[in-house]
Structure 1
């Protein structure tokens, strides 16, 4: 009900014993009050000045400026602000006073309370309650109709009007017998009737009697729409049918199945599960799943809300796995299913192993294919502290961002291919393929088909379905042409067309193939001399030489030798399964003063050989190749020769020693020197060695 503080009239003006008759009269007139609460300096109530007090002062002919102190009524009935509605109602019923003073627990005046205040508050509350009730009845799914003592309709909501097919205006004041003649006789003999079915309305009717203010009996009728009840009943039947179907499926399930509710209690269990664990249904139904089957750990899915499969478990020598499945409704777990798979699990396991083995094999081949056509190295793999090399790397990083052709020059073994890998990996094409073609390693008659591929039946012995060329493979990526100086003039012309037109024809084909390929070329040959001699096309040279980088030989960056040795020792220990911790000072001195005609590649080969033969945990002088130590070293590092002649002499002597050691086998000699076979041929030609 309404609290007292919401029904009182607040007192704004303060009245004390010193207030004059004139001031009291003005306050009472302005507010329309019958009394004034009189307070002390602390706002505590000391009495009241009533209308009768006012009359007595006038009758005593007191001056308007006279204090009201002598006429204050000090015996006052008060109401506490915390009084309940029932307490206030009891006081109002028995009190002869029309106005009461409301105080707090400290006797401070909070306001005035009159019977009029209570009536207005109750009227306001009644109207609010009436509006709320009408809102409820208007939107109710139950039809409501009310009659007076004369059986005339005095209220009806929209629902009952729709059910009866009568408008609100027609139903109001209508006779009940004309609206519902089938129940007119029933209400004459009883105040209430049991719910009856009305076929005409498809509803169930309930009647309640009431007494009005004249103690006359009226009736309230409640109509429950049967169509809603029938819909609920049909839904219930569907649920019962679904449960029966589900129970039948569980009973005949091949594997064990258990179902729990939102409280993790077992609701259904299949006979096959009971058979496996040798249990009876009556002993596990409606019990906590984790208490009965703790090994299933079904409670996990209530927390994770994700289906999961357990590891292999075993009972009585029979292996099984548990598939835990949450049942979700509106994003909340309302139950779970535990599926226990154990029948023919061994066969399934074997099939799974075979499938996994096949997948692993396929993944391996796929990864190998990906590796074959992808760049493996980045700038971090190029180890150097030489200022020129650092500057070269920074320039190459900038060049990598564009799409211009790059020409990498340098002696064999300086790391030209490593540079090409790093350029690709720092370019916008790094997600594309990186295809390598060694122009010196492929026979001349096959180089064109390797580049451009060939169509079906292009020549005798070709594949039935043709072959895709390197340009096709590198489409959208980078094509690295190593040893570009060894390419024939005929193929140089075709390569020039691809670089200019970005298109080509397959061998034996007539269809024009469009490609988007970035070219990175590398060579250890003097292309300018070759252009003068007519063995390399001048127009191709300028097409390739857009951006050129020259990688210095290892002898020009002696400071990197020690750095490279440390890095290679770590890598080779892992590859050779050795445990070499370092090098003896004599061996280290030889390596740092040697001219390295085979550059970094030769350094790696020498270290690999030395680490293989090392027996003392550190590389000794005797572990190095013979041509690098002893008397022979004097042959190729004469102190009286200029620096260029010293390098050539050292390179020539190293080649002679390698050929002598391998008895003229150029492939073995190239491996010892750490250079390519084509590079060895060039140097033999250069030094006129037979």
Structure 2
């Protein structure tokens, strides 16, 4: 601000007279120096004394001088800090200011300084009062004893607490300690930006807090809060509408001759969209695809998407988990067996997974668990394109495309001699990495609400929304089990929950502990689930409307009917999402 603490130069009075003897002073006075307003210095041995007199001369002046010389004036360099000046003026009425050569530049007196300080304070106070009363947002401040020292009209409106009721009192008399982020700032010195919390059951706010420092010490904290309750209500309504649209979309897909291969893959993050684009490109080839991804990312869903793009509608998709089958039975499971091939074999024999996948896709999940002796046989199948069932003598042609997946580091397994290098290169023609959920946090909001809707219907619960604070914990949790773990957590919540909003207390302890274990910077700058929910739902709504319009070949009447909304509503949404050219 322009009106700040006055610069030291403004405080220095440069009208002064220096003398070193009484005779010199009398001579100067006789020469007319009385108009210098009584600011005189006597200098002796590097010390300064302020001289006051009542217009007397001669011996009377001498007596006054002797009386004045008993109090030496403190000296400050012109580059001294304001704190140093204030400290000196606490015990001295005058201070001599000297330049870098120790030559006196003038005097600063406490009375003039106090006047200027009060003038500056009055300006600052007026600006401050006007500023905070003009803001619609809630602004509140507490001092080091947690007493409320500022409570704006915006705070009155949001919290329904009058200034006269709360000023001078601890905020803890009106709010629970756990809900006061400004209190956290006061005791930790930490800032919180765009933190969402719920101070009352019917109120959601977005808050910024900052500690207030004076001379390196925290003397209070300030909080600025914006009411986002209407946003949350809008999100709830939008969520319900989105579920209706999602239901319609799935019904449409059943009737659509060209179903969306990514229908079961939820999320619209940039990372996920990039993977989808890669799948579209590689699925037009005959090449073997190797999918990398952590446990729970949904590797089989991506394999099915590849299958749906590459194969005819009725083509089989056969999956086999290489880690779930006994090594002694693996060959017969994969290649099948003839009648009487071994003890316990079926009389008619049994077709293997390769044969069942004829004309379609064979998906080998957890390929890193493939027994080493089977790696040789499977490599031969890939190279020669034929195989023999166990106990059989007739070779069978391989007529399926291979998609493999693993959560292991195959390069490391090759180096350790646990996986054949030649098989690795054969499978790794086109590698495809699925990003873990922690690297596509933008998808957590959408996936959470989709599972919430699905599982609430399954267990006949009326749970419609996750509170912003609970959502923030879900966003911060690293999800080592990825989407599978997220679904399990939501199912746990739905089974034990009874109200329509999921709160932080409803989350499993490991979610709250791992989230709170994040660094302070991560916590204070956490993602914004309430705002992101709106963005995610709007993006999803735009995606659905575009797909419906494409299916109805741009016929807006049919599109509105399919979406179960009025034509006017459809036009409003087209304008909002800039879909006029669809």
Name the TM tier (shorter chain): 0.3 to 0.5
Structure number with greater CO (CA < 8 Å, separation at least 6) is 2
Give the structure-2-normalised TM-score: 0.44
Larger radius of gyration: 1
